[in-house]
Structure 1
Amino acid sequence: MLIRILPELGHFALILALGMAMLQASVPLIGAATRRPLWMAFAQPMAWGQFAFLVIAYLCLTASFAFDDFSVAYVANNSNSMLPWYYKLSAVWGSHEGSVLLWVLILGGWSFAVSVFSRRLPRDMLARVLAVMGWISSGFLLFILLTSDPFTRVLPNVPGDGADLNPLLQDFGLIVHPPMLYMGYVGFSVVFAFAMAALLGGRLDAAWTRWARPWTNVAWAFLTVGIALGSWWAYYELGWGGWWFWDPVENASLLPWLAGTALIHSLAVTEKRGTFKNWTVLLAIFTFSLSLLGTFLVRSGVLTSVHAFANDPSRGTFILVLLGITVGLSLAIFALRAPRVQSLSGFGWLSRDSLLLINNILLVIMTVTVLLGTIYPLLLDALGLGKISVGPPYFNALFVPLTVLLCIFMGLGPLARWKRMPGRELARRLGLAAVIAIVIAAGLPLLYGGSFSLSVTLGLLLALWLTLSLVRDVFDKTRRGRTGKTGGRGRLARLRKLTLSYWGMVLGHLGLAVTIVGVVMVSHYNVEKNVRLSPGEQVEVGGYQFAMTDFHERRGPNYVADTATIRVDRPGRASFTMQPEKRFFMASGMPMTEVALRPGLFSDLYLALGEQLDNGDWSLRIQIKPFVRWLWLGALIMAAGGLLAVIDRRYRKAPKRAQAGARGAPDPIEDADMAAEGAR
């Protein structure tokens, strides 16, 4: 009996969550304005209650999938009785209504986490932060209840079975990719809420950045992993072997990542030096606005993609209005409050401050470049001015040179000191690293590919430049302590004093270097050949022999697959087999390519079975993709760096110098370095 009323129970839970979100958005905000402690304390229980009812609603929808309740329209359209149970669970967010519910659930989870782990915040600050997050939740809960209710019934004509989940989404990647991506998208709402709370309270000092930095790093790390998982999923699931296509849906996730990267660095400068205050707030608004824009692009129906779920214009209009209100109000508050903020600290043209500012500007330019290439065709189409396509040539022509400049300044940044630094000293520190990077980058293409390649050399040079600058920085920081003692023990003791946030920076920059190596190598040395094979035939590609030894039909839980067995031989190595498939899903009638992968740290073998040809042969796409896994390995290293910085013990303590003024919270390691340089 309970199973039958689960959809109604879930719908009612959403209504209660909306009521609590509205109370969370209004009562604490009024309490903070009128200095009423009881009203401000209202924020935390409302955040807990809202999250609890969102969990109930989500579990009700999940149970409807698990028990094949096809009286629910969303279940009937996205599931099937033959669908494996783990895909039924992931099908909950496999289309529009469920994905928005997951979005709001994660937002409720972030609000709950802030209310639990930020109890040391001033009461009025916490009340304002949770109130802003309550406003965001209210908007999206209204969106669900008015336009995207996942609990709508199809009565009395209940279908006997469901239409099935899109075969493209019946994969492990769907289970992990959307939640990770949404954790990043929604996580930036926290730093947005902190920025708005600081503006509303007139406390735009270094304190709010100290409170917001850990939340920003966590959100950025989740978004980094989510983007990497999406790239990995597209690589092995879509059958074409690419890892990035500059698709608008891909760009929708890249935009807040670029802005978020700039925000992380700007928060660090504001906390440590008290500068960039207005710029940091503007970046916080910009980053979360881009997250909302990505939500609009994917769910408004303006894009056609496997991830573009919505096709109802009313949904797009609602999200666009929500985006306009959020951006408009936040910018209006910023315009009223920001002119009162002054930065008392200055810096020279050659300093860590100026280099971080340059990197911020480059990241914003890169963001605007991608944004224009993404929305310009949509605007032309919406205005009836024709249809155009902006593809990889545009993005590569602008994005690659900007990335080169970004990496150059990233290599300089760690070795520069705050405020000012002599140019000769910086050149002395980096001269040897530059020479080594140039020599190795020029020689590696000759050793690996047998010929010189300017593009490969440039890419490897950037990666080596980033890596060697980090090595030199660690060497300088551990070379001499305050007592002037040198030696192995002194260096080890100095190494242990480096903060976790510093090592997080090292991993973040190192991860980018690893990703650059992967991009350059797979783009230049990729081997691809389309062949035709039948059982008993073989072909040679890239030094490998590929022989089709068998071809048979295999039945899966909800599909039938044509499976080819390919034996792969290479001189001096043991042979192995790979089995690419062509699947036919019975419920939906859709075909699907299932590639066969032989992964390796330095090279992937990639086989994709194509169509059957007129004489009984099968087409087969063979690709050899060197260093492709370094793309995702680098992203994981970057994400690990972001998380490592979060667990720095400085962020687990109450900021004792929250009102310390312009200088913010200095790094003890940096202070020691400056003292040592002055002594020399």
Structure 2
Amino acid sequence: MIPELGHFALVMALVLALVQAVVPLVGASRNNPSMMAVARPAAQGQFVFVVFAFACLTWAFINSDFSVRLAAVNSNSDTPLMYKITGVWGNHEGSLLLWAMSLSLWTVAVSVFSRSVPQPFLARVIGVLGCVSVGFIAFMLVTSNPFDRLLPGAAEGRDLNPLLQDPGMIIHPPLLYMGYVGFSVAFAFAIAALLTGRLDAAWARWSRPWTIAAWVFLTAGIMVGSAWAYYELGWGGWWFWDPVENASFMPWLLGTALIHSLAVTEKRGAFRSWTVLLAIGAFSLSLLGTFLVRSGVITSVHAFATDPARGMFILGLLVLVIGVSLLLYAWRAPRLTGGGSFGLVSRETTLLGNNVLLAVVSASVLLGTLYPLFLDALNMGKISVGPPYFEAVFVPLMTPVVVLMMFAPFLRWKNDKVDAVARRLAPAGVASILIGVGGAFAIGHPTWRTMLGLTLAAWVVLASFQLLASRLRERAGATMSSRLSTIPAAWWGMWTAHFGIGIFIIGVTLVSSIDANLDLRMKEGDRADFAGYSFNFKGVERIAGPNYDASRATIELSKDGKLVDLLTPEKRVYRAMGMPMTEASLNIGPFRDIYASLGEQLPEGDWIVSLHRKPFISWIWAGCILMALGGIFAAADRRYRRLAERSAPKGAAQQAI
């Protein structure tokens, strides 16, 4: 009965999504306040029904109701509770329901926290979000009903994919989906701006905090997914250029460009057309990621569906979104007047250059991701585009992005002088080169990639501290606490995120340059010396987990005769599926990780053991955390919390058409 209630709730959510999509948009076009007022209650009602449907599906998993096909395929009576809950979205249908719930949550948040936005504009925003909801809920009900029954019900479930039975999977998909779906809000604001003709500073100010929030979620989701791959897959990698990893990275790149473009539109009234196109592009790439995961055109741990009909449905939705958006843009573009002018040497120019480069990087990743699919679809053979291509393209394009990133805050809006900027930044630039080259020789890896990475990292860190010192000198007579407290949250957000990129680059450069690994055979009593540590293999014991059997090794990690840690890597076999899994064991430090994984047992009784030293790898995720914190600071700036609408700068407002 409860699954049927969940299905009914989805039908009701679709009805309310249709109301949300049609009535407010018609009301806004007719300037009818009563029809526009339907937007909020329709969005909130849809949210209630989608959450109820999600709760019903969760109930089926928790209670092992194997008459529900989804629970029978993705759960088991012995599955631990938290992985039963994870199993709700660890599949195609459930992940779509999570997507729909995330979208309805974003819509409710917009309806509640955007009361300063004029009603006609907000009605259009919520209406556009309703159109997106209609597409996804209809997709679920027509092709991917999560409440399909098995008659008769299965006696036992197949269990959740063991790869997904990890604490990281509890938060990775929800964070990622909140990021993906969050860009639909930026898209809705852009479409509403095109419909009204209001592409001005006020529109940018309304849209920017939502865009930043989506970017924060996506950053956190990518970070958690990378950390999960690092410790779960058993060989210490953290990024694989997997097509679905790329599918999350591409909207992140365009989202980064969009945040900066919105800042220019808000401050100077420039880049309005560019900003709209970035908003459309970021959401379109989010939909493309959904297509890649759901269509079965790729093979990946992320890919769930193999039904081509499902892929065609999403592909059709993607084409519809892009087509309608670009037609609307083409219709409005000739009527848009130019924004604020700026000189060649200005903050606007550097931000524009970076935005173009980020878009080119995203397009390059898109090409490498889709090119093998096109060849396969045209029966021209199967090829694999891997890390060599992506790294060869990514590094040269991102290098000027990082350089310009730290130039922009030192430049004035509208116009500046080259010699003045050069004098301010020359010390940091020279010091960065010396640190990069000297550091590469110091670690014994003087390759051009290592020198470049360390130089860029030093450039970001040194320029960040120089920028902070310059900001603090503006109020030289005040106390330090007073000077710090008067700096806006948005500035702190920019500084923290940029500093985080520097930390991230340090981690990537060093772990790519000087990591070390060793594969060896070990039996009880064996000892190996590696990376300055001693590894004493104490033996292997058999243990029984809640839904798996495992062989657990105990390895004493020592340095200079002192015990540092006990490493306990495991080799698991999950009972329901008979699938083997490797569970690595890590000793985590601020400057290195020691990583051990257990391979197969050999006929002689020895075990294959893989040992890794990963220098500074935790700095990768520390940098990501700082980036996300920077986004939170920026979104929390007080100007976004003001209820009264400020007037746009002269030349920035575009009259409604």
Smaller-chain TM-score bracket: over 0.9
| In 2: Cα distance, 1:309 partner to 1:132 partner | 28
| In 2: Cα distance, 1:595 partner to 1:306 partner | 18
* Structure 2 residue 164 is the aligned partner of structure 1 residue 207: no
| In 1: Cα distance, 2:57 partner to 2:453 partner | 48
Could you tell me which residue of structure 2 aligns to residue 645 of structure 1?
634
Q: Which of 137, 145, 160 lines up with 2:133 in the alignment?
A: 137
Q: 1:541 to 1:403 in 2, by over 3 A?
A: same
* Structure 2 residue 227 is the aligned partner of structure 1 residue 227: no
Alignment of 1:137-216 (within 5 A): 137-155=133-151, 157-216=152-211
* Structure 2 residue 555 is the aligned partner of structure 1 residue 566: yes
Could you tell me which residue of structure 1 aligns to residue 545 of structure 2?
556
The code of the aligned residue for 2:42 comes to: M
SS at match of 2:414: coil
Q: Is this contact kept in 2: 1:480–1:491, CA < 8 A?
A: no
Could you tell me which residue of structure 2 aligns to residue 669 of structure 1?
none
Q: Is this contact kept in 1: 2:565–2:587, CA < 8 A?
A: no
How many Å apart are 1:492 and its aligned residue?
5.1
Alignment of 1:42-191 (within 5 A): 42-155=38-151, 157-191=152-186
Q: 1:379 to 1:452 in 2, by over 3 A?
A: closer
| In 1: Cα distance, 2:349 partner to 2:200 partner | 20
Alignment of 1:313-462 (within 5 A): 313-447=308-442, 449-450=443-444, 452-462=446-456
How many Å apart are 1:339 and its aligned residue?
1.6
Q: Is this contact kept in 2: 1:479–1:491, CA < 8 A?
A: no
SS at match of 2:35: helix
Q: Which of 455, 458, 463 lines up with 2:457 in the alignment?
A: 463
| In 1: Cα distance, 2:444 partner to 2:330 partner | 58
The code of the aligned residue for 2:376 comes to: D
Could you tell me which residue of structure 1 aligns to residue 651 of structure 2?
662
RMSD: 1.3
The code of the aligned residue for 2:302 comes to: H
Q: Could you report, residue by residue, the CA deviation over 1:583-615 in whole angstroms, capped at 9, with x for unpaired residues?
A: 011111111001011111110011110111121
| In 1: Cα distance, 2:180 partner to 2:445 partner | 43
SS at match of 2:88: helix
Q: 1:386 to 1:454 in 2, by over 3 A?
A: closer
The code of the aligned residue for 1:283 comes to: L
* Structure 2 residue 579 is the aligned partner of structure 1 residue 590: yes
What is the TM-score of this pair, normalised by structure 1?
0.94
How many Å apart are 1:344 and its aligned residue?
3.9
The code of the aligned residue for 1:373 comes to: G
SS at match of 1:508: helix
Could you tell me which residue of structure 1 aligns to residue 486 of structure 2?
497
The code of the aligned residue for 2:470 comes to: D
| In 1: Cα distance, 2:626 partner to 2:218 partner | 13
Q: Could you report, residue by residue, the CA deviation over 1:529-552 in whole angstroms, capped at 9, with x for unpaired residues?
A: 110001111111112111111211
The code of the aligned residue for 2:391 comes to: N
Alignment of 1:501-512 (within 5 A): 501-512=490-501
SS at match of 1:498: coil
Q: Is this contact kept in 1: 2:74–2:158, CA < 8 A?
A: yes
Q: Which of 512, 517, 525 lines up with 2:514 in the alignment?
A: 525
SS at match of 1:528: strand
The code of the aligned residue for 1:421 comes to: D
What is the TM-score of this pair, normalised by structure 2?
0.98
Could you tell me which residue of structure 2 aligns to residue 670 of structure 1?
none
What is the number of equivalent residue pairs in this alignment?
653
Could you tell me which residue of structure 1 aligns to residue 467 of structure 2?
473
| In 2: Cα distance, 1:451 partner to 1:75 partner | 52
How many Å apart are 1:205 and its aligned residue?
1.3
The code of the aligned residue for 2:206 comes to: W
The code of the aligned residue for 1:336 comes to: W
| In 2: Cα distance, 1:456 partner to 1:573 partner | 33
| In 2: Cα distance, 1:537 partner to 1:247 partner | 37
The code of the aligned residue for 1:324 comes to: V
Q: Which of 579, 592, 613 lines up with 2:602 in the alignment?
A: 613
SS at match of 2:554: strand
Could you tell me which residue of structure 2 aligns to residue 676 of structure 1?
none
| In 2: Cα distance, 1:318 partner to 1:635 partner | 34
| In 2: Cα distance, 1:512 partner to 1:572 partner | 38
Unaligned 5+ segments in structure 2 are none
Q: 1:350 to 1:660 in 2, by over 3 A?
A: closer
Could you tell me which residue of structure 2 aligns to residue 249 of structure 1?
244
| In 1: Cα distance, 2:469 partner to 2:14 partner | 54
| In 2: Cα distance, 1:575 partner to 1:216 partner | 45
Farther-moved stretch of structure 1 (33-42 vs 383-392): 383-392
| In 1: Cα distance, 2:539 partner to 2:647 partner | 70
| In 2: Cα distance, 1:532 partner to 1:369 partner | 42
SS at match of 1:93: coil
The code of the aligned residue for 1:285 comes to: I
How many Å apart are 1:442 and its aligned residue?
2.6
Q: 1:575 to 1:500 in 2, by over 3 A?
A: closer
How many Å apart are 1:655 and its aligned residue?
5.1
Q: Could you report, residue by residue, the CA deviation over 1:167-198 in whole angstroms, capped at 9, with x for unpaired residues?
A: 00000011010000000000000010000001
| In 2: Cα distance, 1:663 partner to 1:19 partner | 39
Farther-moved stretch of structure 1 (173-182 vs 569-578): 569-578
Query: Following TM superposition, where does structure 1 have runs of at least 4 consecutive aligned residues deviating by more than 6 angstroms?
Result: none
The code of the aligned residue for 1:36 comes to: N
How many Å apart are 1:453 and its aligned residue?
4.1
SS at match of 2:146: coil
| In 2: Cα distance, 1:48 partner to 1:336 partner | 32
How many Å apart are 1:572 and its aligned residue?
5.9
| In 1: Cα distance, 2:120 partner to 2:316 partner | 29
The code of the aligned residue for 1:469 comes to: A
